[in-house]
Chain A
């Protein structure tokens, strides 16, 4: 069997800002997968992405990109990485044509034809200043740039946030097209878990600068479940199975971390599939309650 190649790998990475610490973060993104990087705002997603891209300096740990350690001398590795930030980053006076002139003098593999094809496909006027673009258009412009130098890895920081469902769906379809090639990989950070449920193969969940969950999305979703019961029945559920329990006037809703075990132990209770959002919210609430 072929060994799984990791396109991104973080080993015990730490970055301390004083008021926020990315603490001992370790995870890997296998080649050919879409990895959803989820967490609430301020959880450390952008910091982690900045560390992967070597935009900021890590305090400790190791970051590998395409199997090579990331350092200040490995800028060339970024030839194969397409990046989409939550904010556009290009100057507002720049047009698609200006960006093409700039990028073709930066990327060795810049494909001018592909770039203008993407602009056309995304209905982006090449002569219009990008300052006049809507948020959706700005995101599409970034994606066009990221895809026009034949990148093997797309790193995207909240590309779908603030966009309407139609544009979001369009984008998901673009990402799907990108990963059709088997050596293409995506790391997609978002707090909109519904998008990731549609496209992600792997999920990394970060909260408060620590990795809470990491692994195959289907396995994570299969393993977790929402157990619904009466308030009085909560005490019957084994504590080792409970991630978090939310009690209301109508009953209790428990996120369990082993669906099969829970089904066997409590056959009379209602078991529902847990969406990524449920899993994320319950883990965050559990942590908040522990801290209180």
Chain B
């Protein structure tokens, strides 16, 4: 099984090279961002937003700023976790036949794929944690706990996405990986809309409408949730991964020789 995980990581070798550049870039961007938001143009923009826009509060400006930083911090996790390339490479090479002839059971072959994802997310999350440690120590943008909450939440959401993508790849078979990606994304969006229907409806109505009666604190609720309830996302990710693994295994067993 270890050999298959190594092979999967080899498939992402190109991505891992990019990953090193991405990390360096993100560190530089974060430092520049922190400096700019304190003393530079971003600080000016924040000030202008507060002066000219009556709907904006100081918290809104701060949240907007932290969102930008969070986005850049998510890049390392996203950049390593794309299992799509592994599926495409396996399908192209016809590796499934080789792997099926190895002394590794289907259970372990499937498990290796899931473990590869978590290994990669762990690397991404580790890098982000170090970054968060530095940023929280140097700035007052966010506490280390909030940073950590966001890292756990994002890695969890991405794990859910990857677990679903593997499931869809197994269902659809080789050559249809792009559809699997779209279906995984749609499933997450759909689940989010169903669970948070009220909030989504509220935001949509006010964004599309005239903005009258818009309470910005409602708008920031998902961000707060993301920051504070990382463990909920983690639990969901574990649950989805287990269900996805069991279903993938069941389907792979039934479709043996096809995937």
Interface residues of A (CB under 8 A from B): 50, 53-57, 72-73, 75-79, 81, 83, 85, 87-94, 98, 101-108
Contact = CB atoms under 8 A, between A and B. Distances in A.
B201 interface: no
A56 B101 CA distance: 11
B10 A57 contact: no
Which 7 residue pairs of A and B lie closest in terms of their CB atoms, listed nearest first? Answer: A56-B257, A105-B3, A106-B3, A89-B98, A78-B103, A83-B101, A75-B105
Contacts of A98: 10
A102 B256 CA distance: 23
Tell me the dominant secondary structure on chain A's binding face.
Answer: loop
A55 B94 CA distance: 13
Contacts of B92: 91-92
A89 B105 contact: no
For chain B, the bracket of interface size reads 20 to 34
Contacts of B253: 57, 72
Contact of A106 (B97, B100, B102): B102
A92 B94 CA distance: 11
A85 B105 CA distance: 19
Contacts of A57: 253, 256-257
Contacts of A101: 3, 6
6 contacts: A55-B257, A85-B98, A89-B95, A91-B7, A91-B11, A101-B3
B256 A93 contact: no
A50 B257 CA distance: 8
A54 B4 CA distance: 19
B252 to A, nearest CB: 11
Given A56-B256, A56-B257, A75 B104 contact: yes
B112 to A, nearest CB: 10
Given A90-B95, A91-B10, A106 B256 contact: no
A164 B97 CA distance: 25
Interface in B217-259: 253, 256-257
B61 interface: no
Given A55-B256, A89-B98, A90-B93, A104 B3 contact: yes
Given A77-B103, A78-B102, A90-B98, 16 more contacts: A50-B257, A54-B100, A56-B257, A75-B106, A83-B98, A87-B94, A88-B93, A88-B94, A89-B93, A93-B11, A93-B89, A101-B3, A106-B3, A106-B4, A107-B102, A108-B103
